[in-house]
Amino acid sequence: MNFTQTFFSRKFLWEIVRILTVGAASLLFWFELIPLPVLLVAMAFGLYSLLKVAAVDLWKERKIGTELFITVAVIVSVLGKEYLAGSVVLMIILIAEYIASASGEKARASIRELIGSAPKTAVLKVNGSEKTVQISDLRVGDIVLVKAGEKIPVDGKVTAGDAVVNQAPITGESVPQEKTVGSDTFAGTILESGALDIQMTKAGKDTVFARIISLVEDAESQQAPIEKFTDKVASWLIPVVFVFVGVTYWITRDVKLVIALLIFTSPAELGLATPLVTIAAIARAAREGILVKGGLFLEELAKVTTIVFDKTGTLTVGRPVVNRVEITDAQYNEKQLVHLAATADRRSSHPLADAILDYANQLKVEYGEPTRFEVVKGRGVGAEVEGKSVLLGNKAYMDENKVPLPATSANLSDTAIFLSADGKLAGVFYISDAIREGAKEMVNGLRKSGVTNIIMLTGDNPETAKHVSEQVGITEFRANLLPEDKINVIKELQASGVKVAMVGDGINDAPALAQANIGIAMGAAGTEAAMEAADIVLMQDKLEKIARARAISKRAFRTIKENIIVGVGVVHVIGITLVLLKIIGPVEAAAIHLLPDTLVFINSIKLLRVEI
């Protein structure tokens, strides 16, 4: 929705009609083309909406807002026989209110645009035929056909076809992803080329797409502390203002002065300064694959000085990889060792076996089926490969089979997997959890942003913890921790008075995420537990998103302060001063009153596009 569509939509039709009615009546009265009663009727028509809002706020919420201030100002102008001044003031204030309403709608429209509307229909495949049905008629297990250029209508798994899918609306990924049989798909993503048959796994409100929309919409109701503070300031300010205006009138008996003061002492922009920024920042973050569950968490993240990271699955990929192969028998080269190990491990389901098979694929080493295969629990595997008796496993397995182990260059941070052929050690595979790409740069970026304390928590041994922390540039770590120990570490930090953000994978770290001031879950696309446990959800396994989320939160918090100090404080103080000096009157005051509304709107909405 562009600027024109937002500000001239049917939603604001009556607001536009009121402005035009009061404006036209003021002009005609000025030229003495209509009598006073007609002007008063027009003013009553324009004032009705403000009076209604003021009455509802006062009666139901015990809240005094700008609508009551303006209503009083207009009534005072009529009682003081300043009819034209009152009507012009009313027209300009109606314009200001219109700008405020349309500004909020523009920010909310950006939230709807960042994902776009979900498809309403899908092509259902039944018994070899195809028919178009409503999304609401689909059931889990149904197969839908999606072609190039269409939005994927459901969460599901690919059962046939291959295609390239733009997942940016869900994950914020800039590079389209290839989808083949077995790949997961998300509703709301765009199929750029190819065609897919997708079996539906989630329906309606259960889809990631629907949950994202729900989270972002709910985020608006989570007030930031600064927003609560401005509400309190406004509530205390109002009685003081009325006393001030009353005393001024008692001293001066100047109706025009009172009208102008009521305009400039209205707390309107205090209520506008924060929500607009919150909505715009949440929309900006969501566009980049970062879901912030409310302004409360946006502000908290900006203030965080300590960030705690889980190791496995967060700073590391959570998947073992082969770091190095040590050759101990000169008759073999690395590829031959990998061939023997991969063939022996071909039928194993152990994660370390997967690491060796991945390494073989990486080196493009072919491997076949072993002639004989057995798994020895807690030890390794035994197999016959091309006539050789192969053992692949830990030191205990080698000792039990009396395989001599010469001194190796193993380090305590890696898992050593020994390979023997015909009773003689042939080589050693060093395997560990791989450091996630961009981890070191992310840590450096957070330090530059003002995070003074970065800590890693892990259930691994101290040697592994030290190795990983050194790799990513973290100086403090805690090892050998159980899940409850992680919670205790966070409580200990909080007891010292610091605000703590916890970053984890959102599943096994859920208790620690909940305990922290801010819980940040990584790679949560499709993970319901992560969306529920965390305050901020990253839709991709990309560490740079953490620094990105903090950058957006800090920019948003800075923008709020700019709105309050410059957009509200400076303009209002100058305005009140000019009124008391009788340099400006009610009409000029109303015209200047448009300035802070416009400044706050422009300053807030720029968060959607400005480079951060």
What's the rounded Cα separation, in Å, for the pair 605 and 279?
A: 9
List all residues 6 or more positions away from 146 whose beta carbon is below 8 Å from its beta carbon: 122, 123, 152, 153, 163, 191, 195, 196, 198
What's the rounded Cα separation, in Å, for the pair 285 and 65?
A: 31
Q: What b-and-e string marks burial along 169-204, b requiring 16 or more CB atoms within 10 Å of the CB?
A: bbbbbeebbebeeebebbbbbbbeebebbbbbbbbe
Q: Which two tokens stand for residue 54?
A: 């003021």
CB atoms within 10 A of CB 117: 9
What's the rounded Cα separation, in Å, for the pair 338 and 322?
A: 11
CA–centroid distance for 330 within its chain: 54
In sign, the C-alpha dihedral spanning 349, 351, 352, 353 is positive
What's the rounded Cα separation, in Å, for the pair 285 and 549?
A: 7
**Gap between the terminal Cα atoms of the chain:** 23
Q: Which two tokens stand for residue 427?
A: 């080589």
CB atoms within 10 A of CB 576: 18
Mode of pairing for the β-strands spanning 155-166 and 177-179: antiparallel
Q: In the annotation, is 310 catalytic? A: yes
What one-character DSSP code corresponds to residue 12?
A: G
Active-site option among 142, 155, 310, 541: 310
Range 493-497, long-range pairs (CB < 8 A, 24+ positions): 493/306, 493/308, 493/455
Q: Are 99 and 597 in contact (CB under 8 A)?
A: yes
- DSSP letters spanning 469-524: HHHHT--EEE-S--HHHHHHHHHHHHHTT--EEEEE-SSTTHHHHHHSSEEEE-S-
Residue from 504, 114, 525 nearest 279 by CA: 114
Phi and psi angles of residue 337, each rounded to the nearest 5 degrees, phi first = -65, -45
**One-letter identity of residue 550:** R
Q: Are 495 and 504 in contact (CB under 8 A)?
A: no
Indicate the SS3 state at residue 107: helix
What one-character DSSP code corresponds to residue 289?
A: T
Which three-class secondary structure string do you get for 39-88?
HHHHHHHHHHHHHHHHHHHHHHCCCCCHHHHHHHHHHHHHHCCCHHHHHH
Which residues are part of the catalytic machinery?
310
